[in-house]
Structure 1
Amino acid sequence: MRVVVLCLLSLPAVAQAETFTLSSAPTSAVVYGYGAQVTREVSVTVPAGTHDLVLPDLPAWMRGDMLRVSVDGARLGSTQFRSSAVPPQPERETPEVAAAKERIEAAERALTALDDRVAEARLAAAAAEAKAGFLGALGTNEGLPSDVATLADIARLVETETLAAEQAALTARQRARDIEMDRDDLVEELEDAKAALAALTPPAKEVSQLTLSVTAETEGDVTLSLSYPVDAGWRPVYDLYLRGEEPATLDIVRGAMIAQYSGENWDDVSITLSTLEPASQISPTTVRPQLRRIEEPEPPRPMSSMRKDAEGLAAAEPVMEAPVMADNAVATSFDGPGVTYSVTQPLDLASGVDATRVNLDRLSFDARRFAHAAPAFDRTAYLMAEFTNTTQEPLLAASEAALYIDNTLVGRSPFPQVPAGAEGDVPFGPIDDLQLSYTILDQSEGDRGIISRSNAQRQRVRMDVENLGTRDWTVEVQAAVPYTIQDDLSIQWTATPQPDERNVEDLRGVLQWNIDVPAGETREIEIQQELNWPDGMVLR
């Protein structure tokens, strides 16, 4: 037995397992267009051995399967997540809470001292009033001496002492009123102190708790990192400044509007913005085989049946068309998928309040100023700035950008996505000196003959660009002529002068003229078009 005891004493001491309760808060976040990944990081010094790290103040809505945990400085063992029936934690009083409680106590002491002073003044007033009452009763006492001289002395004494007593009572009442004037301020201070404490100690709310088992080989610091998804998002915003003539400069001040709805406030959190879309489609659509069949055409239906169907359709619920799926532009990556922007300073973002704007950087590009005209729709030409994205990253699309000429705000407009190396056009408002007109000179429709049994439509229009200003302009004029993919519909058109570009930006039938319009002059463009289609058909 002695040998066994000696062997046990020779073994190294095993550190006693401890439980460390840690308070945590968001420290960093990666914010996507929709959604964010928040990280809480907290450190603690532990002795060698196996210990439990408890985080008792996680949000109640948190899901255990969405948590990602890493530990630095120790080996992570089991994890236990509890979202209900969380044991109550001992109250930890922060310096701010202690200061708020001391403020309440000081306000209560000051209010008590004031009430004591008021009571003292009122006691003095009551004593003086009692003295005056006694002197008044003394003057009516039947046992007074009958000697005239003595009675005179007593009367003078009563008069003098009564006056002094009443004056003392009056002074005491006035002092009590003066003291009470400060009571409202002390009551307000007490209420403010209680409100401050209430703000620092909100009502207990439901929380989740995470317990981690870690093993440290030696005593040292252990850093716990916990990340989870939340509801948040960001969108780009721009301020665009067009400066100078030729060459012109386009300055783009890039910013971001960030908002989060996680249910917990972010204080001094490091923010990284990402163009990735974790919540979007991440797998390709499955291609299904197409089964086609042919059937006998349905016989013509009588008008009465069609009328009944129309009435039933009118009474039914509206039929919704299938949604049109638009292609989503993908940002060009640098060192991996997506582009990230790091906000230089940590931010305070309250949950569920207005978005916070942060400025990212300023870009500058050489720009070409020109006038764009669509006489069929507009009465003036519009100033445009064309630039090339010479950066190595895309300029993301924004729903609204503020537009300035020099430093004067001229309007707001959506901003399209401009990939790296691509060209972009930005509008900067109307040019009142360039007046546009669109005149239909000739238009006819009708039967061209009995033999051909075909219908036709002919039209001749003129577009005018008038320069009322004192500077020359190069104007890009655009118009559209009809096009078809049907052999039975014949379309012919001519233009004077001939357009410089056809099917602009791959839009069939869109024409463009690049014309010089000197100051004080007018330029004309005439278009003639003719459409022919078989008789019995309707032109759409």
Structure 2
Amino acid sequence: MRITLVAALLLGATPALADTIEAPATIRAVTLFPRGAQVVRDVTLKLPEGQHEVLVPGLPEGTDISTLRVMGEGVQIGAVSLIDGRTPALTNTDSAQIKDARARLDQATEALANGQDQVATIRAKAQAAQDQIDFLKGAGTQVSDPAQLQAMAQMVGDQILAISERAIAAQADARRAESALKPLQEAVKQAQAALDALQNPAQNHDVLRAMVQGSGTLTITSYAGNAGWQPSYDLRLDGANNTLDMERFVSVHQATGEDWSNVDLTLSTARPGGQSAPAPVYPRLARIGPPMVAKPLSKNLARADSGMAAPAPMMAEAALSDTAALQMQGETVTYHYPTAVDLRDGVDDLRLKLDAKKIPVNVLAEAVPLSDPQAYRVAEGTNDTGEILLPGPANLFADGAMVGQTQLPMVAAGDKLRLGFGAIEGIRLSRTMPDTTEGDRGLISKSNERREVVQIDVKNLTNRDWPMRVIDRVPYSEQDDLKISYKFSEQPSANNYDDKRGVLAWRFDLPAGQEKQIRTETTLSWPTDQILR
């Protein structure tokens, strides 16, 4: 009995639970990541005293409650849950939106009824005229005197003609009035559809349920995965001033299941769904053992194995090798768009202009005669914008003319930037091997030797001087028994260029109309019981 009394006292001290209230939310702001979006909604509440169950419909289907955050200003928030199935029945009065929709339906229905009444009135006039005609046609049957019958016939004929004209005019008015009903009927149809949509919302949306007390604003923050933005660039190279003018744009898309209308848009370079910590390094155990002897395969297995694309050891080596993944470098950068944005679900790809930057660069002609008969215009510099440059497609312009398109890689703030701006057809290259010999140096030496000579010719047929970089390669060795020596007509400016062994680079200026020749001589020697592979 005491327990019951205490429970009753506690219940008496608890605010009474009022009816369930539906309160639609308005999307106020969106923070868009390269993949995903954070959506902020506001719900304005004016609640009676006590605790209430508030239903907020319209959240995208599949909203993750773990990413959902609900905050209140002027209200106290209790338990929060997501409903993705049947919504609880509402026992409170209709919302303001439903009341407005019902009022619009009543107005449209009343207007249609008035129009139908007018049509019925016109139809009644036409029917009355027809009834008069029928009466007059039967009136002459009771007259036997021929003179009276003739006079009666003349009178009836005149009256039928006049009444027929009124009937035809009434029917024409009725047809016009019925045509005028079509807009009214469409208005009723649309008003009914709008009311049905509010009273029976689509089932492919989630509903937020929260226990709320007080009056104020609910702020709902959720994460949507099917959205994102990607930068794109217009890169304009000014070779005379050695500058790169960069215009940045963003392409915005979303297929979250709802339209974004008049939202405050912020673009962020953060990647909430990406890797947030370094990958672990696992111990590597080295072991030795006797060499494995390959067992001969049966004929059937040998035939089956011959169709394999790659042996298992090669696949295992690939799995153990390092892999590169796209990761953020530097601090997160955000861009706030100055005007409100509309972006419909799944149908709009919005392109917005972001900003413009100017980057100082060095411009040179880079030549790889091993693969290309001409040089290419290359700009090299440093990303001094103070911001990370995200990967994206870029249109390339050189001295005012469009020369191509490329995919700009991710470039961290302060990192090196290198871009190609198309071929320079006036710088021609040739790479020949005029002297290559291989064979015994003598019967007693017990060694083999190969001598390779490579000749590179570079011609500047343009009307301007060009700073040049010529890149070529020579063989290198990791075996003590394979000896390699080199001779150069001009020493390379860089050995192991771009951290690649055996790759050489020469830097020089080539005036207009001039040409340059580079010769390399490589000698390889190895024991006679070995072969060069």
TM-score for the superposition, normalised by structure 2: 0.78
2:455 to 437, 462, 471: 462
Distance 1:180 1:443, change over 3 A: farther
Residue number in structure 2 paired with 1:366: 360
Post-superposition Cα deviations, 1:198-247, rounded to whole Å, max 9, x if no partner, equal: 66666343634443577xxxxx9765544443315545423234254432
Map 1:141-290; keep pairs closer than 5 Å.
141=141, 143-147=143-147, 150-194=148-192, 203-205=201-203, 207-212=206-211, 224-232=218-226, 234-242=228-236, 244-290=238-284
Task: Give the partner amino acid of 1:389.
Answer: N
Report the CA distance shift for 1:193/1:429 in structure 2 as closer, same or farther (over 3 A): farther
Structure 2: which amino acid aligns with 1:524?
Answer: Q
Unaligned runs of 5+ in 1: 1-13, 215-219
Q: What is the distance in 2 between the residues matched to 1:408 and 1:292?
A: 58
Residues 1:441 and 2:440 aligned together: no
Runs of 5+ in structure 2 lacking a partner?
1-12
Q: Distance in 2 between matches of 1:167 and 1:69?
A: 73
CA contact (8 A) 1:490 1:533 kept: yes
- Please state whether the residue corresponding to 2:146 is helix, strand or coil: coil
Aligned residues of 1:462 and 1:526 also touching (Cα < 8 A): yes
Q: CA RMSD in A?
A: 4.1
Whole-angstrom CA distance in 2 between matches of 1:307 and 1:452: 45
- For 2:429, give the aligned amino acid: L
Task: Give the Cα separation in 2 of the matches to 1:409 and 1:94.
Answer: 57
Q: Is the 8 A contact 2:61 2:257 kept in 1?
A: no
Partner of 1:11: none
**Maintained 8 Å contact 2:236/2:244:** yes
Q: SS state of the match for residue 466, structure 1?
A: strand
1:503 corresponds, among 482, 496, 502, to 496
**Residue 68 (structure 1) shift:** 4.1
| CA–CA distance in structure 2, aligned partners of residues 199 and 464 of structure 1 | 76
SS at match of 1:382: strand
CA shift for structure 1 position 325 = 1.6
Which residue pairs with 1:9 in the alignment? Answer: none
Match of 1:480 among 462, 473, 480: 473
Q: Percent identity over the alignment?
A: 33
Task: Indicate which of 509, 516, 519 corresponds to 1:516.
Answer: 509
1:168-197 deviations in Å (ceiling 9; x for gaps): 333333333333443444444444555555
Q: Say whether the 8 Å CA contact 1:242–1:248 is kept in structure 2.
A: no
- The residue that corresponds to 1:81 in the other structure is 81
Conserved 8 A contact 2:359-2:385: no
Rounded to whole Å, the distance in 1 between the matches of 2:433 and 2:237 is: 39
CA distance 1:202–1:507, change in 2 (3 Å): farther
Say which SS state the counterpart of residue 390 (structure 1) adopts: coil
Matched letter for residue 400 of structure 1: P
Counterparts of 2:301 and 2:107, CA distance in 1: 83
Per the TM alignment, residue 40 of structure 1 is displaced from its structure 2 partner at its CA by: 4.1
Relative to structure 1, is the Cα distance of residues 435 and 287 closer, same or farther in structure 2, using a 3 angstrom cutoff? closer
Of residues 414-423 and 49-58 in structure 1, the stretch that sits farther from structure 2 once superposed is 49-58
Q: Aligned partners of 1:447 and 1:136: how far apart in 2?
A: 135
Given residue 384 of structure 2, which amino acid in structure 1 is its aligned partner?
T
User: 1:488 offset after TM fit, Å?
Assistant: 3.0
Distance 1:464 1:395 in 2: 38
The answer to whether the 8 Å contact 2:235/2:394 transfers is no
Amino acid paired to 1:158: V
2:10 alignment partner in structure 1: none
1:272-319 per-residue CA deviation (whole Å, 9 max, x = no partner) reads 4433344334445444443333322233533xx165434333678987
**Structure 1 residue 424, shift from structure 2 partner:** 1.2
Which of 420, 424, 430 is the matching residue for 1:431?
424
SS at match of 1:182: helix
> 1:234–1:273: 8 Å Cα contact kept in structure 2?
no
Question: What is the TM-score normalised by the length of structure 1?
Answer: 0.77
Distance 1:499 1:110 in 2: 91
CA contact (8 A) 2:37 2:228 kept: no
Aligned residue for 1:5? Answer: none
2-structure distance, mates of 1:182, 1:293: 93
Q: In the TM superposition, what is the alpha-carbon distance from 1:38 to its structure 2 partner? A: 3.9
CA distance in 1, matches of 2:381, 2:223: 38
Identify the residue that residue 3 of structure 1 maps to in structure 2: none
Given candidates 414, 417, 426, the residue that maps to 2:407 is 414
